[in-house]
Amino acid sequence: MSGFGKGVLGFLLARPLIALAIAAVVVGVLWLHSRHQKTPVTHREQSVGLTEAQQMQLGDEQYAKTLRKDRAQIVSSGPGYAEVQRVAKRIEAVAARDKPHFVWKVTLLRTNEANAYCLPGGKIVVYTGILPLTKNDAGLATVLGHEVAHATAEHVAERIERQHLTEVAAAIIAGGVAFTPSQYAHVIALLGVGGAAASLPFSRSQESEADHIGLVYMARAGYDPHQAVAFWKRMLKASQGKEPPEFASDHPSDKHRVEHIVAWLPEAERAYTANRSN
């Protein structure tokens, strides 16, 4: 240590109150920058830098961009449209209890890609290509419950925080220029927008948490949670085919995924029964 360093250390050791005050300021600054909260359903402690309003803005901007780009593919009538609206409405009502400020909206896009996603703040996109896989309302509720759980558990904001990109994301939201093109691309990739080749998948533990929360959400919305097991088994089978669905590449459905979901079933069944007796 340099003589100067030794001097500073000696000064602080001799004056513990000043050292304590400095530590308190440092911790206080970090505390200000991130909110400490618990995830819905799983009650995991997490730390998130972006506010709900900032997350909504980030998601809404991306949503508007997608709808502009794929305007010709928007489906606004027919049985697929009706099913997506019907199921999303019930899942959104459940998710809104955990995130009352989010503004929920779903759009169905005509594309063969088997995928769906929910942006931070509650904007959902479903591709028609996933409907043959979800097969019925409960199957679609499994997918929407899972995707919406990524939003209510603030998984994107959490990833942004972990990668020390909160300031960059805040600058993007504010329309500022305090970021490089690669930082911008990185934040957009973290949104996990399905279909974008550059999108970064959620972590394994976030995927598993979205399965858990999603299962309870679908049950609270009045869908039999056993149908989720059937859906993930269908996914497992489909992912072993020649051309696995895109949803399967972000959501590798192995034996363990199905086992975990089976283990959460009793909790989901209680939610399902409580919902039916209401």
Catalytic positions, written as ranges: 147
Site string for Zn ion, 64-103 (x = CB under 5 A): ----------------------------------------
Of the candidates 264, 153, 145, 251, the residue with the CA atom closest to the CA atom of residue 204 = 251
> Residue 165: which of 138, 190, 141, 193 has the closest Cα?
190
Task: Give the range of 44-52, 75-83, 119-127, 206-214 binding Zn ion by CB under 5 A.
Answer: 206-214
Rounded to the nearest whole angstrom, what is the least distance from the CB of residue 76 to Zn ion in the complex? 26
CB of 236 to Zn ion, least distance (A): 15
- Nearer to Zn ion (CB atom), residue 52 or residue 147: 147
Nearer to Zn ion, 50 or 210 (CB): 210
Judged by CB under 5 A, which stretch of 34-42, 72-80, 122-130, 208-216 contacts Zn ion?
Answer: 208-216
Strand ranges for the chain from DSSP E: 35-38, 45-48, 74-75, 105-109, 116-118, 123-127
Instruction: Tell me which DSSP letter residue 136 carries.
Output: S
Considering only the stretches 37-45, 73-81, 201-209, 263-271, report the one whose residues sit in contact with Zn ion under the rule CB under 5 A: 201-209
Which two structure tokens, joined as six digits, stand for 126?
A: 């479903």
Per-residue buried b or exposed e for 49-72, using 16+ beta carbons within 10 Å of the residue's own CB: bbebebbbbbbbbbbeebeeebee
CB of 161 to Zn ion, least distance (A): 18
**Site residue total, Zn ion (CB under 5 A):** 2
CB 20 to Zn ion: min, Å:
43
Q: Which is nearer to Zn ion, 159 or 173 (CB)?
A: 159
Per CB under 5 A, contacts with Zn ion among 210-249 are 210
Tokens of 123: 């904007």
Distance (Å, rounded) from C-alpha 223 to C-alpha 20?
54
In the complex, the smallest distance separating the C-beta of residue 155 from Zn ion, rounded to whole angstroms, is: 8
Backbone angles phi, psi at 70, to 5 degrees: -105, 30
Cβ nearer to Zn ion, comparing 126 with 210: 210
Length of the chain as a residue count: 278
Report the interface residues with Zn ion, using CB under 5 A.
207, 210
